[in-house]
Amino acid sequence: MHEYKRIGRDLVYKGSIIDYYKDTIEVANGNTVKWDFIDHHGAAAVVPVTDDGKLLMVRQYRNALDRYTLEIPAGGMNPGEDYKVAAARELEEETGYKSDELEFLIKVNTTVAFCNEEIGIYVARNLVKSEQRLDEDEYIDVVAMDVEELCNMIYEAKIKDGKTISAILAYKNKYVEKN
């Protein structure tokens, strides 16, 4: 195994959900290289399951892609929150449902080449209608969909979001295919 040693990390930009750094790395042959590094402040997501087995999905505009996406509810963690607390908060904020029954599903690192973002993903059952509480710049439509329909959308490249793909397939593998 080749050895890498970080010998410097310089902050380039401090943001609200990420900090961007330029790292200086010493590689195995002794040369030094500059690598980009994005420090993400953490995120949580949730797979909301309705009583009839459908998954609540959110359709929202994503600026980075300049299009609407279909995703599981998710968002950044607030200071002091753990993944489960943040997942419960995002469930209510984005879908207008609450649940006292959140079960850990998986954790994913989204972009390992240059970012340390880790998302803790939970499954929420026994959903109780509450009130959607969107940020002033958020406009989200909530849709209930069958797992098979979502899997087909993944395989047809209609859903390309990594956390959503991971969550849906993990949910299907753990809960749907076992029955």
Indicate which residues carry an active-site annotation.
136
CA distance to 87, 148, 172, 179, per residue, from 176 (Å): 22, 10, 5, 6
| Beta strands, E only, the chain | 5-14, 18-26, 32-40, 43-48, 55-62, 67-71, 74-76, 97-98, 101-109, 118-125, 128-129, 141-145
DSSP 176: I
- Furthest C-alpha separation in the chain: 59
Phi, psi at 138, each rounded to 5°: -100, 140
